[in-house]
Amino acid sequence: MPNEEKISRLKKQLAESRKPRQQVTLLNDLAMELHPSDPAACIKLAAEALELARKIQFKIGIARSHFSTGMAHFKQARYLDAFAAFQRANDAYRQAGDRWGESNALNHLGLICSKTGNSLRALDYFTDSLRIKEETEDEYGKSNVLISIAGIHHEAGKTEEAKRMIGEALAIAQHIRAEALVGKVLYELGNIHCTEIDFNGARSAYTEALNYFEKQSDKSGIAQCRLKLGRISLETGDVNSAHSILHSAMDYALQVGDKSTEANIDVELAKIEWMQGHRAEAIVHLERARGFAEANQERPLLIKILQELSEAHEAAGEFEVSLANLKKAVHLSAEVNLSETTARLHDMEMNRKFELLERENRLMEIENQLALAEVRRRISSDLHDDIGAALSGFSIYSTAIRNNIMQGNLDEAMDSIDNIGEESRELLERLSDIVWAINPKNDRFDQLVSRLQNYASRICSGKNIDLNFAADTSLAEVLLPLETRSNLFLILKEAINNAAKYSCATHLKVSLNSNEHSINACVEDDGRGFNPNTASGGNGLRNMKQRAALIRASYDLQSTPEQGTRIVLEIPL
């Protein structure tokens, strides 16, 4: 239940407040207090706080408003909306210099990725969050993040690594006497014991966790523990106890609007109804759970539900419906078991809308500061062309994969998957370059040098090319405008890429230096060269020349057959 006394006190303070900053803080405090029980009210209050915070340019208030909105959406299992809000919160906290807030936003981004089946990206977010917790000596936060990382390792089958992290998290939680956190750690320990089919250990851990959650009146935690205990009773043959415990779990889940837990309880109740011969009731539970899983892209849960539905309809003699559900489960299983690259592709497709929104927000901030309307137009055009072309291809390949799997042509399906993987890697790299270029944090020249050197080292190493990379240390503090930084990086990257991939060179030299009037860059290889007057050069050479013109840089391409190629840039300061 919500803390009515605290809510009343906050409302009274808000009504009496005449200070805008205090009003923003109180609105966000009230929103966070209401988010578990009344997400809609939380979103409304956070919107009011955000509007006022923007008017008075209160950065922390802006960040907290986005975070409150994310918490409300997360509670309702509206993961895409929650992800977008937490992304905005993360950016706002970072701009405000609030590392605690930044870490919390990262942790929730990781939780969403984990819930939607993207463990790779989840681990990235959790690791970034853990680094900040350690740097700021936030022991409570560190324990929380360790729990999340342990969950990722647990799902990946790395139970020993998961146990190690759970042990570390439990020691921290007990040391700082954080009872709610101890309950959370014990709950995760129970999950690991379940994986090991150690039902006695699991029951003990869940029961102990339940005691902590009950002390804290944490209804969501109570519902989740009772769900787990109900499953154990069902697995060990105590159907009556399982039925009672699961219905109790459902009562708590309904009280707090925990949709994910409700869906999982429905799956377990369906099993009991099935065992008792109530097939129609079992299907009702499964269809209700299916609606949640499909709407929120919880693929592992959806696979389980589809398999259960297939068996239920088969037993009822509804073979066509049974087969349709089975095919969907098989297809979804194939998607879940794709390579790491395809998993990243799924993440990209799922999050495409709010990633574009994030870039749009960043571009708007840069435009307000530097009035770079033309830069925004060019970047938007690049994004549209790259993503549009790639997603069209992905759509075609996805259709081919689905058809081939349905027809049993697994070799052809794998060929399409390989094509998606290759094209997604290329697209992700292009998007990464664009996102890096428009990030104001990267406007110092040493950031450009570091990224360029890492790229050159990676690609030359793969081609056995000896790299000589030299950059004048006096360049480190030079600040580059967005347009210059973006185009200079892409020109030099294209030059390095061409030399590594097409020149058959054994040596590559990249140099960057400056004088009081300009920055000078040179990329030179000892490869086979070509005749610039007769070679078409393709889009790459044309793009380099065009980008140089955009930043008013001189561009000189020198190449002779069998004598290598040299590209020289001079960028005015």
The tens digit of pLDDT for each residue in 426-478 reads: 777 777 777 777 676 776 788 889 999 999 998 898 889 999 999 988 777 67
User: Pick from 440, 459, 477: which residue ends a domain?
Assistant: 440
The helix/strand/coil state of 526 is: coil
DSSP string of 341-399? HHHHHHHHHHHHHHHHHHHHHHHHHHHHHH--HHHHHHHHHHHHHHHHHHHHHHHHHHH
Tokens 């004598």 correspond to what residue? 563
Long-range contacts, 14-20 (Cβ 8 Å, 24+): 20/52, 20/55, 20/56, 20/58
What is the pLDDT, as a whole number, of residue 570? 93
Complete DSSP assignment for 463-482: TT-EEEEEE-GGGTT-B--H
The answer to whether residues 492 and 435 belong to one domain is: no
**Domain termination site, one of 422, 440, 458:** 440
Residue 536 is assigned to a structural domain of this protein: yes
Please indicate, yes or no, if residue 198 is contained in any of the structural domains: no
Contact 514, 473 (CB under 8 A): no
Find the domain containing 479 and state its range.
443-572
Exposure class string for 461-491: b at 16+ Cβ within 10 A, else e: eeeebebebebbeebeebebebbbbbbbbbb
Going by their DSSP bridges, the two strands 565-572 and 554-559 should be labelled as antiparallel
Domain assignment present for 71:
no
* Kind of pairing between the strands at 518-525 and 466-471: unpaired
Structural domain contains residue 516 = yes
Q: Is residue 381 part of a domain?
A: yes
Q: Can you tell me the distance from the alpha carbon of 45 to that of 48, in angstroms, rounded to the nearest whole number? A: 5
Tell whether 366 and 403 lie within a shared domain: yes
Residue 371 inside a domain? The answer is yes
Element (H, E) at 509: strand 507-514
Rounded Cα distance, 201 and 303, in Å: 28
Same domain, 489 and 537: yes
Q: For residue 371, what pLDDT is reported?
A: 44
Return the pLDDT at 378.
Answer: 61
Using alpha carbons, list the distances in angstroms from residue 448 to 66, 68, 288, 540, 561: 31, 35, 52, 20, 31
The first and second tokens of residue 354, run together, are 């709010």
The confidence score (pLDDT) of residue 340 equals 44
Q: How many whole angstroms separate alpha carbon 361 and alpha carbon 356?
A: 9
Burial class (CB in 10 A: 0-12, 13-18, 19+), 161: middle
For residue 452, give the H/E element and its range: helix 445-462
Residue 557, judged by CB atoms within 10 A of its CB (0-12, 13-18, 19+), counts as: middle
Residue 460 burial by CB count (10 A; 0-12/13-18/19+): exposed, middle or buried? Answer: buried
Contact at 8 Å (CB) between 285 and 270?
yes
For residue 196, give the H/E element and its range: none
Asked if 555 and 458 sit in the same domain, the reply is: yes
The neighbouring-strand residues paired with 572 are 518
Helix (H) or strand (E) holding 518: strand 518-525
DSSP state of 563: S
| Domain match, 428 and 450 both | no
Residue ranges, the chain, pLDDT below 70:
1-2, 335-395, 397, 438, 440, 443, 477, 479, 535-539
Tally of helices (H runs) and strands (E runs) in the chain: 23, 5
Note whether 485 and 560 are same-domain residues.
yes
pLDDT for the residue numbered 380 = 60
455, 400: one domain? no
d(CA 420, CA 303): 23
Answer whether residue 36 is part of any domain.
Answer: no
Out of 413, 440, 467, a domain closes at: 440
Helices marked H in 76-156: 79-96, 99-115, 119-135, 139-155
Q: What is the pLDDT of residue 205?
A: 94
237 Cβ contact list (under 8 Å, min separation 6): none
How far is residue 569's CA from residue 191's CA, in Å, rounded to a whole number?
A: 59
Instruction: Specify whether 464 is located in the same domain as 537.
Output: yes
Residues 405 and 457 in one domain: no
Do residues 133 and 145 touch, judged by C-beta distance below 8 A? yes
Check residue 390 and give its pLDDT.
Answer: 61
The per-residue pLDDT for 370 is 53
Q: Under the phi-then-psi rule, with left for phi > 0, alpha for psi from -120 to 50, and beta for the rest, what region is 57?
A: left
Q: Is 519 helix (H, G, I), strand (E, B) or coil?
A: strand
Please tell me the distance from the alpha carbon of residue 347 to that of residue 121, in angstroms, as a whole number. 8
Cα 238 → chain centroid? 40
Question: How is residue 222 written in tokens?
Answer: 């109570």
Residues contacting residue 290 through CB under 8 Å, at least 6 positions apart: 302, 305, 306, 309
Distance CA 74, CA 62 (A): 18
Residue 561 maps to a domain: yes
Q: Which amino acid is at 111?
A: L
* Claim to verify: residue 495 and residue 422 sit in the same structural domain: no
Q: How many domains does the chain have?
A: 2
Same domain membership, residue 469 and residue 409: no
> Which CATH number is 555's domain given?
3.30.565.10
CB 407 within 8 A of CB 362: no
Amino acid at 413: A
Residue 138 near residue 175, CB atoms below 8 Å: no
| pLDDT on residue 481 | 74
Which pairing describes strands 466-471 and 507-514: parallel, antiparallel, or unpaired? parallel
CA distances to 237, 271, 275, 443, 487 from 240, rounded to whole Å, are: 9, 12, 11, 65, 68
Neighbours of 29 (CB within 10 A): 20
